[in-house]
């Protein structure tokens, strides 16, 4: 079974499907699967080498995966956990609104005009933060521009009649 899972992970790697690859890697590293020492020892060297490759690709800091994403051409299914973490850190680490630059001046230095004082009390939007988040979203969208050129395999295509078997009884009104 482990050999087959590693083969599927290799196909994910060929298709640049990093989300599927991380999902399978996470499943293999779950405590119940990871403790199956006898199964891990039965893997041949080629499969152990591919597992080591996936392990380095899915390291906690995602450094190799980020480099791989930068070097490949779409189509690609990137691992969104990395992007979501970056967006979260920009969102939480930076304020959406910033104070007006005139508020930092001394009261004597400010213009006595009441319009400028009223304008300085309104917070300003931090466009730097918005641009950084937009840049991350643009990176994600870049991989969605080109579809996969996959061929339909008729032998594994699910027929519509088969799907109705799993939908359960239909209620008529």
**pLDDT per residue over 83-122, tens digit each?**
999 999 999 988 888 887 665 544 444 444 445 555 557 8
Dist. CA 147–CA 16, nearest whole Å: 12
Same domain, 88 and 111: yes
Classify residue 23: in a domain, yes or no: yes
In a domain, 149, yes or no: no
Confidence of residue 20 (pLDDT cuts 50, 70, 90): very high
Structure tokens at 38: 């006898």
- Residue 9 shares a structural domain with residue 42: yes
Yes or no: say if 68 and 57 are a contact pair by the CB < 8 Å rule.
Answer: yes
Domain assignment of residue 173, yes or no = no
Higher-pLDDT residue of 135, 151: 135
- In a domain, residue 164? The reply is no
Strand partners, 125: 97
Total residues found in the chain within this entry? 173
State the residue for tokens 């930092």. 104
Q: Tell me, yes or no, whether 84 and 137 share the same domain.
A: yes
**Are 53 and 88 contained in the same domain?**
no
Cite the DSSP H helix spans in 36-106: 37-41, 45-57, 63-71, 80-93
Query: Is residue 166 situated within a structural domain?
Result: no
**SS3 call for 98:** strand
| SS3 (DSSP) at 142 | helix
Mean pLDDT score, 5-15 = 94
Q: What is the reported pTM?
A: 0.70
Residues 14 and 51 in one domain: yes
62 Cβ contact list (under 8 Å, min separation 6): 79, 82
Range of the domain at 98: 80-142
Residue 93 shares a structural domain with residue 118: yes
Residue 90 lies in a domain: yes
pLDDT surpassing 50 at residue 131: yes
Number of domains in the chain: 2
DSSP count for the chain of H helices, then E strands? 10, 2
For residues 136 and 101, membership in a common domain is answered with yes
Residue 111 lies in a domain: yes
């Amino acid at each position: 079974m482990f050999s087959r899972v590693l083969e599927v992970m290799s196909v994910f790697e060929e298709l640049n499907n990093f989300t599927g690859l991380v999902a399978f890697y996470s499943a293999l590293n779950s405590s119940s699967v990871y403790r199956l020492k006898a199964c891990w020892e039965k893997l041949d060297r080629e499969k152990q080498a591919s597992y080591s490759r996936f392990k380095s690709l899915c390291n906690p800091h995602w450094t190799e995966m980020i480099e791989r994403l930068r070097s490949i051409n779409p189509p690609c299914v990137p691992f969104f956990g990395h992007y979501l973490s970056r967006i979260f850190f920009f969102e939480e680490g930076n304020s959406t609104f910033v104070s007006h630059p005139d508020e930092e001046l001394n009261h004597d230095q400010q213009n006595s005009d009441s319009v400028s004082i009223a304008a300085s009390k309104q917070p300003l939007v931090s466009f730097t933060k918005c641009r950084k988040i937009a840049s991350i979203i643009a990176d994600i969208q870049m991989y969605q521009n080109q579809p996969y050129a996959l061929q339909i395999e008729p032998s594994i295509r699910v027929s519509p009649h088969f799907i109705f078997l799993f939908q359960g009884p239909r209620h008529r009104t």
